Structure 1
Amino acid sequence: MSTINWTENGSAFSARWHSENASPAPTRVVVVDDRTTANAAHRLARAETGLLWRGDFHNARQLSRALERRQQRSSRAGAAGGDPASLFGSQRAARAARAEMLGRLMVVLEPGYSLGLRRAPDVRQACDHAYGAATEETAGRMCVSLPELLGVLSAYQWHLKGVDIPALDARIHPDYGVFSPVRGEYVDLVARAPMPPGVEQPLAFDLGTGTGVLAAVLARRGAQVVATDINRRAVACAGANLRRLGAAARARVIEADLWPDGRADLVVCNPPWLPAQPTSALELGIYDPGSDMLRRFLNGLPDHLTPGGEGWLVLSDLAERLGLRTRDELLTHIADAGLRVAARYDTSPRHPRATDAADPLHEARRHEVTSLWRLVPS
C-alpha cells in the first residue's frame, strides 16, 4: 500500500494513496491553498511535485482549470499533424500529459470519506459507491487526485440518473469504473438483428457485458443469457441492472475472462473498438491492445457455438479510419478463425463528437460506421 507524506504547520502527516489509473504516489508533496497562484502551481506540478490542496473546494476546481489551460497551450505548441494515425497518437499523448499534470493536484479524504474543505460537497456516498464502504484496513485518511474525485462525483450522478435506452424503454445505471452505454446505435443493432432461426428460446452468451445492457436486450427478445465480464465492478453493475429491469430470471452474470463453459445458439461480443493501450481501468471499454479481445472472441467462437448457431460481432470501423487496423486485417482474422460473414448491418453514430468540427479526428468520426457482423462457421 502506497502512502504520501507531508509537513503541515510544523507537524508530519501521512495518508494512504489511491489512484484508479495506477499513478504512483508523489515522492514530494507541498501544501497549497487559495494563496497559491496558478503559475506557481504549474511550476511545482511540472517539477513532479504533489500539490495537496487545503483551501476552498471551488477554488481548487478553478486552479485545476488554470493548470489545464497551461497544459493545453503546451500541447498545442508541440502538436503533430499529418495522417489520422499520427493525429490519434499525438492526441492520446496530449491527454496523457494533461492527466499526469492535473493528477498532481490532490485532496485528502478523512476517515469515512469526508472532505474537510470549505464549500466542499458531501462526497461520502459517491466515494462509497466508487471505492466500497470503508473497512478497518482502509478507514484512515486517503489521498486522491482532484480529477479522480471529480470523476467519482460525476460517475455517481450518472449512476443515479441512468442512461436512457430506447430499445429497452428503460434506463441503465452504470457504476463507477464501468463503461457507460452512451453510444445507443450499437444497442439498436442488437435489438433489431434477426435472431438465429429455428430456436424458440435461444441460449445466448454476452461477452464483456459491462453494464449488462446487451444482456438485457437479448433477454427482452426471449433468449436465456449468460453474461460475462472480467471486471468485478461490471459483474455487480450488470447484475443490479438486470434485477432492476426484471430480467434476472432470464439472464445471469458471471465473472470470467471472456468465455463461460458450454456452447450457445448466439454469442454476442462488443469488444473495445480501438487497438491501443488503455491507461486506466475505465479505458478498457475503449482500447483493446493488439486487438486481443477481438481475436480471442473470433478464435473461440467455433468451439462455443451449437450446430446452426452464430456470433454477432459489434464493431465500429473507427480503427480503420484512423489507420490502426485495416478492413483486410479484420476479414483475415475472421477467416483464420474458421468463420465466414453471413450478413452485416450498418449504422451511423449519433454521438456529439461525430459533428464536432473542432475535434482533430473529426473527419474520421464523421464517416464512422458501426456494424453488426453475423458470423457462422465456414
Structure 2
Amino acid sequence: MSTDITINKPKPIPTKKGLQLFNRSADVKNTMQTLEAGKSVLITDFYSNGLTLLKEVQLYLKRRMPNKTFNEQRAFRAAYRKLSNLILIEIADQKLTVSKAPSIGWLQKFYAEEKSSFLLPFPQVQGLNSSWQWYTNGIIIPVLRNKIHPYYGTYFPTRFDHLILFDNWLKRYSGPKKTAIDIGIGSGILSYQMVKHGFQKVFGTDTNPNAIAGLKEFLGDTKLSRKIELDQGHLFGAWEKQTELIVFNPPWLPKTSENDKNDEAIYYNETLFPDFFTEAKKRLLPDGKLVILFSNLAEITSVTKDHPIEIELAKGNRFTLEKCIKKTVKTASDKTKRDQHWRALEEVQLWILNHK
C-alpha cells in the first residue's frame, strides 16, 4: 500500500534575466505580442498588475475567438490557459515579491526547501491562493454536517445535485453496511455520506496523490480515520476483497484533446469505463450493488452520443440495471458570465447495477 506520497504542485521556474516586465506603465499591445510569440512576461510592482494583464488576455481572445457553444468555450479556455501561463511572478523566501500580494500558506508548505528565489505562472499562483482560502476556511456541503477542507489540487464539487441524489438513495438503502469502496475519493464527500448513513468501513482510492495526502491529514487519528481507509492507485488500487457496495463518481466528459489529459477529474479516456467494469465484476459480492453517479452533459453539449454505462449494459454481459434515478440540474447562476444555455437540459443520474 502507498505510504510515500509525492504532492503535485506547480513546478518552480528558475529566475530568468531579460524577461519583459509588466507594470502599470507597460504597453499592453506590445505585451500581448510577446505572449503570442510564446515568450514569458514577468509581473512587477503590484500583485494587481497580474490581475490586470489576465483581463487583457481575456479581452484579447474575446476579440479573436467565438465563445458561445460548449466546444467553443473549451477551445477558448485552452487558448487562455496557454497564454496566461506565460505570465510569471517571483517568489522569494516562500512569499510573493510584489506589493499588496496575498499571503498563501501553500508556499510555506510546498517550497520550504527552495533556498533561492524562483518564478511561477501567475494563474497557478491564483490557484494556490484560492485553494488556500478553501482549505483554511472550509466549504459547506449541503449533504454533510461538517465543512470539508479540500487540499490543494483536489477536486471538489461546486454543484450538489448528484450528491443530494446519492444521499436520498442512501437513506432508502436497506442492504448490508459492512464495507464499501469509493473509487476516485477526491475530497471524500461520498465516503463521508456513506459513514453518515451507517457504513462500518469505506475503502477509498484515488490516482491523485494530493487527494490521498489531504484526506490523511484531515482524518488524522480521529474516529473517522478508523472508518475510512485510503490508497493511492488507479481504480481499485490495493483493494482486492469483495464488498457489498461499490460507488463511482467518474468524470462526465470524454477526453477529446491533449489539453484534457491534465484534468482526470473532469475528462475520461476510452479505457476508463471498460477497465472499471472488468475490475468491479471481480470485487462486487454476489448480492452487492454498483452505484455510478453520472450526467447527460456530454450528450446535450454534442461532445459525444456514446453513454459508457449504457454501452456496458448493452454489450458487457456483466451487470443488469436495477434502476436509474434522474434529477434535473438547477440552472446556472444569473451571476455567471459564461453562456450555458444547455444547462436547462442537464440532468444528473444515479445508476444502480447488479451482477448478471
Report Cα offsets for 1:160-212 as digits up to 9, x if no partner: 2222122222211111111112221221222221566442x331000000001
> Is 1:104 aligned to residue 57 of structure 2?
no
> Is 1:134 aligned to residue 112 of structure 2?
yes
Decide which of 64, 70, 76 is 2:60's aligned counterpart.
Answer: 70
Mean CA deviation greater in 179-188 or 242-251: 242-251
Decide which of 27, 31, 38 is 2:21's aligned counterpart.
Answer: 31
Q: Is the 8 A contact 1:209 1:227 kept in 2?
A: yes
Amino acid across the alignment from 1:35:
S
Amino acid across the alignment from 1:191:
D
Helix, strand or coil at the partner of 1:172: coil
Return the offset for 1:134: 2.1
Decide which of 70, 79, 88 is 1:88's aligned counterpart.
Answer: 70
> Is 1:313 aligned to residue 299 of structure 2?
no
2:31 alignment counterpart:
41
2:5 alignment counterpart:
none
Cα distance in structure 1, aligned partners of 2:147 and 2:243: 27
2:17 alignment counterpart:
7
Cα distance in structure 2, aligned partners of 1:101 and 1:92: 15
Q: Is the 8 A contact 1:263 1:305 kept in 2?
A: yes
Helix, strand or coil at the partner of 2:78: helix
Return the offset for 1:59: 2.4
Cα distance in structure 1, aligned partners of 2:20 and 2:280: 54
Cα distance in structure 1, aligned partners of 2:60 and 2:306: 39
Helix, strand or coil at the partner of 2:287: strand
Can you give the 5+ residue segments of structure 1 that lack an aligned partner in the other structure?
9-28, 82-86
Amino acid across the alignment from 1:126:
W
> Is 1:120 aligned to residue 96 of structure 2?
no
Return the offset for 1:71: 1.7
Mean CA deviation greater in 187-196 or 153-162: 187-196
2:234 alignment counterpart:
257
2:249 alignment counterpart:
270
Mean CA deviation greater in 177-186 or 32-41: 32-41
Amino acid across the alignment from 1:239:
K
> Is 1:331 aligned to residue 310 of structure 2?
yes
TM-score normalized with structure 1 length: 0.82
Amino acid across the alignment from 1:59:
N
2:259 alignment counterpart:
279
Helix, strand or coil at the partner of 2:143: coil
Cα distance in structure 2, aligned partners of 1:214 and 1:113: 35
Mean CA deviation greater in 264-273 or 229-238: 229-238
Shift in alpha-carbon separation, 1:236–1:193, aligned structure 2, 3 A: same
Helix, strand or coil at the partner of 1:121: coil
Cα distance in structure 1, aligned partners of 2:175 and 2:22: 68
The root-mean-square deviation of aligned C-alpha atoms, in Å, is 2.6
Helix, strand or coil at the partner of 1:249: helix
Shift in alpha-carbon separation, 1:68–1:349, aligned structure 2, 3 A: same
1:24 alignment counterpart:
none
Return the offset for 1:65: 1.2
2:272 alignment counterpart:
293
Mean CA deviation greater in 264-273 or 152-161: 152-161
1:21 alignment counterpart:
none
1:18 alignment counterpart:
none
Shift in alpha-carbon separation, 1:357–1:62, aligned structure 2, 3 A: closer
> Is 1:373 aligned to residue 351 of structure 2?
yes
Cα distance in structure 2, aligned partners of 1:249 and 1:3: 40
Return the offset for 1:104: 1.5
Shift in alpha-carbon separation, 1:331–1:284, aligned structure 2, 3 A: same
Helix, strand or coil at the partner of 1:254: strand
Q: Is the 8 A contact 2:15 2:118 kept in 1?
A: no
Report Cα offsets for 1:64-110 as digits up to 9, x if no partner: 2122211221113xx6x7xxxxx333221111111111221111111
2:4 alignment counterpart:
none
Identity of aligned residues (%): 22
Amino acid across the alignment from 2:82:
E
The number of residues matched between the two structures is 340
Shift in alpha-carbon separation, 1:157–1:333, aligned structure 2, 3 A: same
2:224 alignment counterpart:
247
Shift in alpha-carbon separation, 1:198–1:57, aligned structure 2, 3 A: closer
1:226 alignment counterpart:
203
Shift in alpha-carbon separation, 1:280–1:149, aligned structure 2, 3 A: farther
Cα distance in structure 1, aligned partners of 2:146 and 2:207: 25
Cα distance in structure 1, aligned partners of 2:258 and 2:209: 18
Q: Is the 8 A contact 2:43 2:49 kept in 1?
A: no
Return the offset for 1:114: 1.5
Q: Is the 8 A contact 2:288 2:354 kept in 1?
A: yes
1:167 alignment counterpart:
143
Amino acid across the alignment from 1:267:
I
Return the offset for 1:126: 3.3
Cα distance in structure 1, aligned partners of 2:260 and 2:215: 20
Shift in alpha-carbon separation, 1:330–1:248, aligned structure 2, 3 A: same
1:211 alignment counterpart:
187
Q: Is the 8 A contact 2:102 2:129 kept in 1?
A: no
Shift in alpha-carbon separation, 1:209–1:266, aligned structure 2, 3 A: same
Cα distance in structure 2, aligned partners of 1:360 and 1:34: 32
Helix, strand or coil at the partner of 2:106: helix
